[in-house]
Every structure is written in C-alpha cells, then in structure tokens.
Amino acid sequence: MPEISRFFGIVIKMFFDDHNPPHFHAEYSGYLALIDIRNLSSFSGHLPPRVMGLVIEWATIHQEDLFADWERARAQQELQKIAPLE
C-alpha cells in the first residue's frame, strides 16, 4: 500500500484498486482508521481525537489531491505524494 503522506507520526496510505467508498488509510501508533474522501469521516477503525483532528484538517486542504490519487489507484497508476500538514 503506497504511502502518500506523512506528518506528526501519522502515515497516510492508499491501496491500489481498493473497495468503495473512495477513502484513504490513516495510521498512528498502532491505530488505524479508514477515512471517506467524500465527507471526510471515519467509516472503519479509530484514531485518538487529536490525531483525527489533524488528519481531517490535512484532508480538507488536500481533498482534490486525494480524489486524484484515488482515481490513479483505481487505474493502477503511480500515486502522487501529497504535502504534509505543517
């Protein structure tokens, strides 16, 4: 699963040809959540509240980039790295 971003110990990944809904995986210190790109909500797993806030802040800024990477992943194309939250 390619890593598309990393910030504050949070790793953001996306699978190739993954199931719907369009989403990404956020990992942090043993926690994992799947985040729906359309509404930026978790539909599986759990992150600590502060970490989830950072992930949603980042995803809000990069929602278009995430949709573009989702389409690339569905087409088995190379994913683009997305700038970290600073």
Answer yes or no: is pLDDT of 72 > 90: yes
Cβ contact 23:37 at 8 Å: yes
What pLDDT digit, counting tens, does each position of 18-59 carry?
Answer: 889 999 999 999 999 999 999 999 999 999 999 999 999 999
* Mean pLDDT, residues 54-71: 97
**If DSSP codes are grouped into helix, strand and coil, which group holds residue 45?**
strand
- Helical residues (DSSP H) of 1-86, grouped into ranges: 49-61, 63-74
What is the spatial distance between Cα 30 and Cα 60, in angstroms, rounded to a whole number?
24
Mean pLDDT, all residues of the chain: 96
Structure tokens at 44: 């599986």
C-alpha distances out from residue 61 to 20, 54, 56, 77, 86, Å: 22, 11, 9, 23, 11
CA torsion sign for 61, 66, 67, 68 is: positive
The pLDDT of residue 1 is 65
pTM over 0.75: yes
